Amino acid sequence: MTDAAFERRTRACQQRLREGTGDLAVLFPSRNLFYATGFDEEPQERHLFLFVPREGDPVFLVPALYGSQVRAESWVEDVRTWSDGDDPVAAVERVVGDLAVPADAHVLVDDTMWALFTQDLESELPDATFGLASAVFDDLRVRKDEAELDALRRAGELADEVSVAVRNMGEEAVGWTESELAAEIESRLLAGGDSLAFDVIAGSGPNGAMPHHAHGDRAIERGDPVVLDFGAYVDGYPGDQTRTVVFAGDPPEEFVEVHGIVREALEAGVAAVEPGVEAQAVDRAAREVIEDAGYGEQFVHRTGHGVGLDVHEPPYIVDGNETALEPGMVFSVEPGIYLEGEYGVRIEDLLVVTEDGCERLNDSPRGWHAGDAA
């Protein structure tokens, strides 16, 4: 990603502000800040803000120890610093004064900004109203450009490769604990990616019936269905893929049928995707298959979530979301059936909306039988 590309994003944010969303956006270390500037940092206790006014150039206000780094890593030219021992709120006051922010401004603050900082902004701008930066950034970030799609495709390929390697363990995985299997998956992911997208999920037997159980000491038994959900970041964008497999032996009665239903629900959800269709229609298409089979109560979550700089972001594929799908949107379709105390089945692919349908970002085998390419 070039400086020019990051600058274009910030200018697009300013355009939205001018269209009436607000007078000023204030970001702090977050995905939005990275999206707008290329500067990547974790939230921390020192005041570090990017002020994006409607007009003119943005101003970075950063702790002095970050000065050279921010100048090197972002396109923003106006970088001001404050030193430990200075009053950071006085530094904020100077920036707000220089930017001539109207007293009754509508200020959009980063959704994840700590209250510690929003309260300082509120004390500096007592007559301002406050909103969330997502009012601008969600809409900018939801359609991925070619560079973003390229990274997402590679993250998808990495998840696919690891999925195949793990599936091919077959019989060998029996007796491993979930945590041992998760560690194997993690090391394979990190061999090709930058960091984990989230804690690897390896839910065996009854643990698979808890959708967000990560992994534990339970040893995988013959015949256990195992939910495997994982992904890694590649060039800033994550993979997220789920398969449910049986490494060896005969699965529980009904499992083959339940797996088939979830797989059919996945296909129905994917088939519903095209530009103009509402996000909730994809949820409905997948859910209908599961409800018709009598397992509606056991599908305890939405059908999917958008994926971008964040692993969970808009558009959410959920009942009530009337957002019309557009080319460039990327999200998961991940129906599941969870039988408490027995096992769970979830199958998840990421896809990108195209002009006439969608392109799947995952293509590893979706069957339950480990080693089986179906």
Binding-site size, Co ion (CB under 5 A):
2
The nearer residue to Co ion, 91 or 272, going by C-beta atoms, is 272
Tell me which stretch binds Co ion (CB under 5 A): 134-142, 190-198, 281-289, 327-335: 327-335
Letters for 189-228 (x = contact with Co ion by CB under 5 A, - = none) are ----------------------------------------
How far is residue 52's CA from residue 61's CA, in Å, rounded to a whole number? Answer: 11
When asked if residue 23 is in the footprint of Co ion (CB under 5 A), the reply is: no
How far is residue 254's CA from residue 288's CA, in Å, rounded to a whole number? Answer: 19
Tell me which stretch binds Co ion (CB under 5 A): 57-65, 159-167, 209-217, 324-332: 324-332
Tell me which stretch binds Co ion (CB under 5 A): 9-17, 132-140, 294-302, 331-339: 331-339
When asked if residue 240 is in the footprint of Co ion (CB under 5 A), the reply is: yes
Query: Smallest distance from the beta carbon of 47 to Co ion, in angstroms?
Result: 34
Query: Smallest distance from the beta carbon of 113 to Co ion, in angstroms?
Result: 26
Helix (H) or strand (E) holding 57: none
Query: Smallest distance from the beta carbon of 331 to Co ion, in angstroms?
Result: 9
Q: Which CA distances in Å does 97 have to 27, 100, 113, 270, 302?
A: 17, 5, 21, 51, 45
Q: Under a CB-based contact definition with an 8 Å cutoff, are residues 80 and 101 in contact? A: no
Query: Smallest distance from the beta carbon of 91 to Co ion, in angstroms?
Result: 40
When asked if residue 332 is in the footprint of Co ion (CB under 5 A), the reply is: yes
Mapping DSSP onto H, E and C, the string for 286-319 reads: HHHHHHHCCCHHHCCCCCEEECCCCCCEEEEECC
The nearer residue to Co ion, 310 or 359, going by C-beta atoms, is 310
How far is residue 205's CA from residue 219's CA, in Å, rounded to a whole number? Answer: 10
Query: Smallest distance from the beta carbon of 363 to Co ion, in angstroms?
Result: 16
Query: Smallest distance from the beta carbon of 229 to Co ion, in angstroms?
Result: 7
How far is residue 364's CA from residue 310's CA, in Å, rounded to a whole number? Answer: 23
Tell me which stretch binds Co ion (CB under 5 A): 71-79, 114-122, 263-271, 329-337: 329-337
Helix (H) or strand (E) holding 54: none
Angle at the Cα of 219 from the Cα atoms of 217 and 221, rounded to 5 degrees: 155
Structure tokens at 172: 């060998």
Query: Smallest distance from the beta carbon of 166 to Co ion, in angstroms?
Result: 17
* Contact residues: Co ion, CB under 5 A: 240, 332
